[in-house]
Structure 1
Amino acid sequence: MPQSPSADPSPGDHPARPTAGEVTRAALKTPKAAAIAGIVFSLLLLAIFGLLRSAVPADPLERGIWLITDRGQVGLALNLVPFAGIAFLWFIGVLRDRLGAQEDRFFATVFFGSALLLLATIFVTAAMIGALLLASSVTPADVLVNSPTFTFARATIYILVSVYAHKLAGVFLFTTSTVVIVTRIAPRWIALLGYALAVIVLFGSYFISWSFMVLPIWVLLMSIHIVMETFRRPV
């Protein structure tokens, strides 16, 4: 007798296989330890800023005595900058991971763009300070500080920090605080504090030389909340 063809299995007989995208997302799950990146960045930036401010005067017309007396202190601060930058990138990644599908394209672009530009400005400033240190090791300090090269480099460093870095930090605080309010990924008071600190950075940097310090302080508060929420969740 001819055998009857076997019946095709119904779609419900076998569970649906996960797609390649779902497997990739599961494999690339953000580690919980990444939540501490913001804390690392905040502490490093506070240390860097403290070391540089105690050695290098804020006056762009200063005479460069720090090239002789505080070379080790300034060099230590510059060596910490790359690690702070890496930690900042991880912090941005943690924020975007928490936003998930709630991420708005407009605010995400400004938020991410201002963070990258701020990081680039910090790196360029550190590179210029490092170049002055390197130049002072092969050129007598009294000759270097009286040269047009030192005047130009010192003025450029001052403008990068007091104008561009401060304004980018203010934009980052403002956009990130807006994202926090809209998505509720953190308490509302953190966002309101971010708005207040953004105003200080944007409009008070000329009068308050330490106003840039508000950025790592706010990131530290935000990171502590993220760490508490992250490790409170079940695995």
Structure 2
Amino acid sequence: MRQTNERLGTPRAAGIAGVVFAVLMAIAIVLVRVALPEGGDAADIDLDAGQRRAVRTALEVLPFAGIAFLWFMGALREQAGEGEDRFVSTVFLGSGLVFVATLFGSAAAAGTVLGGDQDHSSFGRQFAYALLSTYAMRMAAVFVFTASAIGRRLGVFPRPLIVLGYLAGLTLLLVGSDVPWSELVFPGWALVVSLYILRGRRPAGAGPGSAA
């Protein structure tokens, strides 16, 4: 009974972690976009006190967003169980880990804008935006693709959610840094998936009698 309860609690853990990640990630993206509206191209613009405060808050939020994402990813992978495809699950895990690594790297680079050295600040701003909008979002696209594929194979996600995942993945993969605010597609997708999980959906084959 204890093992059954633990497995039934995993979807809820994934849902909660996903909501936390989506909210924190969206907050960080909005703060950075508001503080640095021109992205890495405005390298010669000095930040005022309000912009620095916004960037500092975003940098404080991002580590917790990354931690929540790791929990979200682990809980989703647990749901796949023995039915997961090894190739797809490896890409799923690898893309998620690389996403977190590039997310933390972009946060570290963005921290240079808070320093007084203009040269380092300019380089850090451009480097942070390149990591986030180009590399991190591409890895997020791969993560969304593989998560949707796993959900389709196992019958965990309904067709509309799978289609939404593929559309979100294509947007993150092809649009990237060309369209400002496109980074919000990823936390938006994570929020929709998490809310679906929190509604109490069970994996395929987990009927009412499986809790006995």
TM-score class, shorter-chain normalisation, is 0.7 to 0.9
Question: Structure 1: which amino acid aligns with 2:73?
Answer: I
- Residue 123 (structure 1) aligned with residue 104 (structure 2): yes
Partner of 2:150: 179
Partner of 2:137: 166
Partner of 1:54: 34
SS in 1 for 2:199: helix
Contact 1:47 1:77 in 2 (8 A): yes
Q: How does 1:106-145 map to 2 (within 5 A)?
A: 106-133=87-114, 135-136=115-116, 144-145=117-118
* Paired positions, count: 202
Partner of 1:14: none
Alpha-carbon shift at residue 209 of structure 1 (Å): 1.5
- Residue 156 (structure 1) aligned with residue 102 (structure 2): no
- Residue 26 (structure 1) aligned with residue 3 (structure 2): yes
- Residue 76 (structure 1) aligned with residue 53 (structure 2): no
* Structure 2 unaligned regions, length at least 5: 203-207
TM-score, normalising length: structure 1: 0.77
Contact 1:169 1:198 in 2 (8 A): yes
Question: Structure 2: which amino acid aligns with 1:160?
Answer: L
Q: State the distance in 1 between where 2:4 and 2:62 align.
A: 31
Partner of 2:193: 222
Give the fraction of aligned pairs with identical amino acids, expressed as a percent.
37
Question: Structure 2: which amino acid aligns with 1:37?
Answer: A
Aligned mate of 1:203, from 140, 163, 174? 174
Alpha-carbon shift at residue 131 of structure 1 (Å): 3.4
The structure having more radius of gyration, on CA atoms, is 1
Q: State the distance in 2 between where 1:180 and 1:100 align.
A: 12
Alpha-carbon shift at residue 95 of structure 1 (Å): 0.5
Contact 2:113 2:122 in 1 (8 A): no
Contact 1:169 1:212 in 2 (8 A): no
Q: State the distance in 1 between where 2:200 and 2:5 align.
A: 20
Alpha-carbon shift at residue 64 of structure 1 (Å): 3.6
Partner of 1:96: 77
SS in 2 for 1:229: coil
Select the structure that is richer in helix. 2
Q: State the distance in 1 between where 2:41 and 2:187 align.
A: 27
TM-score, normalising length: structure 2: 0.85
Closer/same/farther in 2, CA of residues 28 and 92 from structure 1, 3 Å limit = farther
